[in-house]
Chains A and B, each alone.
Chain A
């Protein structure tokens, strides 16, 4: 019998205990994987390669202040800028204000929008139809699927902070990975409906020639408007999105403390199980030693068993986490929130590593005690 098969057989000797331990570790690792995935999408992911070539310029004071549209031509003249469009977050309500019916709507300039958002794929004839219809809208394919919209359908949005209720016709449906679940319509529509809005934009979305241009172009834009009545703040699309996360509060500390609690909890569970199972085998260890197994042999047998158990739990947990995220991002609640959330291979690797480490450390002390136990005492032990 090889060492490995000895370890495996021992793992299954008390099936119920092993399964319960695996489930307990599995649930904890499910949570850990979920947290790491969220962390990754917030702080590590740089987004799609195309989004790295875009910068967002907003009012320095707050997103709730508008910028004058003449900034557009000034920014366009800067070196490194490829295209720029004005964007205004409309924040309208569709049907009712239940969260599952909420999605983002932006007013923009359709004639140039695709030059900036070129990672959106839309049939040429549909794009043309959208550009021609001032009351036309372009929507995400996922959003269209969710609400059952087809080309030519009419929808009404209810304005919240902008006093207009746009009646729009769906003219184009685009695909994008990950789907942004948003709707785009003409700035001109808003300007006609709200006289005081004319000549203003919520923020500017600018495309630069290459990702390396981002810092220099951002600095140049902010420098240009520094002493104007409407100073700007320009940052990469990723940093812009992250600023919304930062508003939620100290998310980093929140996620880290949950992760720490989870890891500590599985360490306890696993150590508990190993202590129980090793104590129950005191006499057996003495027999092994009598047969000639060295202390380090015995130690490695037990540690191996603990690592095998927690790795099995880890695999279960990671698989469950991947499933949960899949389910969530395709559920109606997840639409718009879970942009591009997936459990990546590095995340899985880290989770497995944590599982293995937990198994290793949990078995160390009880296994060490067992390994250096006196044979005669062990044989006398009544267990």
Chain B
């Protein structure tokens, strides 16, 4: 017969100080783990939501990022005539030739300078990114030295409000609008007219990349192959989703460091939990013997103590999750390993993150409780009663 759970809960309540201290220790470990996992979840989301399955990104053959591309502008009309491209509002094929450059901007809080991606695009560039919406001001006018910035750029950098001027390239650019990119990688970009950008950075007569929007996912795939297989073009097409999926590797350093930190902290907390459970067993050795005399079996005592330890760590997990809640949604940035520019993302405590944290805590509890519970179940009844 199993020992009622109430017994364990009452025991934890009885020694409040010990319970609180141990579970706080576990809570700190859980908090750290959640923090790191939420960072990675946010980063993954930034890349995963960036790509649109209908968009085909065209770059020079062999280049791995838009920054390292560059092809002649004369190829662009040929691209536009390929079959399978959707029509824009003027009835023309929806395509945008673009330039991507990286510039340095000082952070608002003065903690250094950061590389920021500036993207020059054609008017169709806005239309083929339907997930991006203007929230303040208006879009830039083609032919003008105007830019629109993402919400996070506005928040994080000086001179990025509407009406301000940003200095880069060959002179000032007026900020005329702020856009919301829905947590995608565009969240870290500044957009303007492609011809203006090209002349500012001495890159006229070419494009770094081109975006083509297909009518449906099947023709997107066909379009991608058509671009890559065309011998005249010497270009390569990839689906935008595939392009960004590859960039998630930017999170690798955080991931490795994060796991090392979380595992070391977890081992430390498990030992602390073990200590607490050994003390609990020692205090109750006569009680345990009494339970055995009444007829509770060794396995039921073992499970009861392991359960108590898991309960302790679950309490810690709950506290840890609550401690982390205020940080949910906090934005931060890291360097994109492909474009060398900053990518902005927010901490996301997804259900998976919380689940993994709870499992993590349960493992700590099991590890900490196993040995003491084994010890409790194996003690000789007579010796324990005499204690």
Contact = CB atoms under 8 A, between A and B. Distances in A.
Contacts of B275: 17, 20-21, 24, 269, 272-273, 276
| Chain B, interface SS category | helix
Interface in A328-352: none
A29 B340 CA distance: 34
Contacts of A276: 18, 275, 279
B104 A160 contact: no
16 contacts: A17-B275, A17-B278, A23-B271, A24-B272, A31-B265, A34-B260, A61-B101, A61-B104, A62-B103, A62-B104, A161-B64, A229-B202, A246-B111, A248-B253, A249-B334, A268-B21
Contacts of B271: 20-21, 23-24, 27, 269
A24 B333 contact: no
Given A246-B111, A248-B253, A268-B25, A27 B264 contact: yes
Contacts of A233: 104
**Ranked 10 nearest A-B pairs via Cβ:** A161-B68, A27-B268, A247-B335, A24-B271, A249-B334, A269-B272, A246-B112, A272-B21, A20-B275, A62-B102
Interface of A: 16-17, 20-21, 23-28, 30-31, 34, 60-64, 99, 159-161, 163, 229, 233, 243-244, 246-250, 257-258, 261-262, 264-266, 268-269, 271-273, 275-276
Contact of A61 (B24, B103, B261, B332): B103
Given A27-B267, A247-B115, A60 B272 contact: no
A311 B104 CA distance: 47
A247 B114 contact: yes
Q: Among A60, A63, A247, A262, find the residue whose CB has the most chain B CB atoms closer than 10 A.
A: A247
Interface in B214-271: 252-253, 260-261, 264-265, 267-269, 271
Nearest to B60: A163
B31 interface: yes
B3 interface: no
A161 B279 contact: no
Interface residues of B, number: 53
**Highest count of chain A CB atoms <10 Å: which of B114, B268, B333:** B268
A161 B334 CA distance: 22
Nearest to A19: B271
A239 to B, nearest CB: 10
A65 to B, nearest CB: 8
A264 B104 CA distance: 38
Nearest to A258: B261
A298 to B, nearest CB: 21
Contact of B32 (A25, A27, A30, A258): A258
B168 interface: yes
B61 to A, nearest CB: 9
B25 A265 contact: yes
Contact of B102 (A20, A64, A265, A266): A64
Given A62-B104, A249-B335, A269 B68 contact: no
B12 interface: no
A24 B272 CA distance: 6
Contacts of A21: 271-272, 275
Given A62-B101, A261-B32, A272-B276, A24 B335 contact: no
